[in-house]
Amino acid sequence: MAVLEAEKVRKFYGDFCALAGVSLAINDGEFVSIIGPNGAGKTTLVNVLTGLLPPTSGTVRFKGRDVAGIGPARLAKLGMARSFQLVNIFPGLTVRETVGVAVVTQLGRGGRLFASLGGDADVKERVHDISELFGFADKLDRPARTLAQGDKKLLDVASALALNPEIILLDEPTSGVSTRDKTAIMDVLVQAAKRVGIKAIIQVEHDMDIVFGYSDRIIALHQGRVLADTTPEGIRSDEHVVATVIGKRLR
């Protein structure tokens, strides 16, 4: 059953067509990667899927409801969250506070953020549980900006999961992380998502080892269109897609 659908989505910036009739469906239980060269439309597609941008035409439905352009805050309340790199947005917050921002928002207590972080038992418990899933239990009082890059990436995802979503969209979850640490980060991320009951994961990612190592399905974009929507093996076996989208021979 499709939890997220886009149908014939087009997006123009002036005369420039960034998305030219994109259709896709994300089903329960799937890990789907969106790939493509620079300028393919990946960022625009993510922004449309997460309600940050309205499509020029076409529809976006989440759990059967039209959510085109409703904004990521309202979409999060419906059950879809996106990692937004809160570490970069609020560099002065501790790990506890960074996760707590999302928890307080999810519980509807945003009007008294720091009071809730300090004295609300439900908030404290949720922050602790999410932090423990990602290995932050002993780092709660560290300023988020002092974390290693890999931990910063995990903290971004932890904050998104703290919104208690059914589906999560990750924008390059391993960018800037050493090759040695990428698999460890993805393993933590996937296991944490399963434990909190995430129904589907969508990621935009450039690292093909990560894409092929974790995806059930890969959607390849080129010049604002879906060039391929198939299994990892289906991508590997299509020489045209590999040459156009990836630009190098796969191992």
- pLDDT tens digit at each of 251 positions of the chain: 799 999 999 999 999 999 999 999 999 999 999 999 989 999 999 999 999 999 999 999 999 999 998 988 889 889 999 887 666 667 788 999 889 888 888 877 655 555 556 667 888 888 999 999 999 999 999 999 999 988 998 999 999 998 889 999 998 888 888 888 899 999 999 999 999 899 999 999 989 999 999 999 999 999 999 999 999 999 999 999 999 988 766 65
H helices of the chain, in order, are 42-49, 72-78, 86-89, 95-106, 113-119, 121-133, 149-161, 179-195, 208-214, 232-236, 239-241
Q: How is the chain split into domains, by residue range?
A: 1-79+167-251, 84-164
Are the C-beta atoms of 109 and 124 separated by less than 8 Å? no
pTM over 0.85: yes
d(CA 20, CA 226): 9
d(CA 143, CA 140): 8
Q: What CATH homologous superfamily does 1-79+167-251 map to?
A: P-loop containing nucleotide triphosphate hydrolases (3.40.50.300)
Query: Largest Cα–Cα distance of the chain, in whole Å?
Result: 58
Tokens standing for residue 60: 């976006």
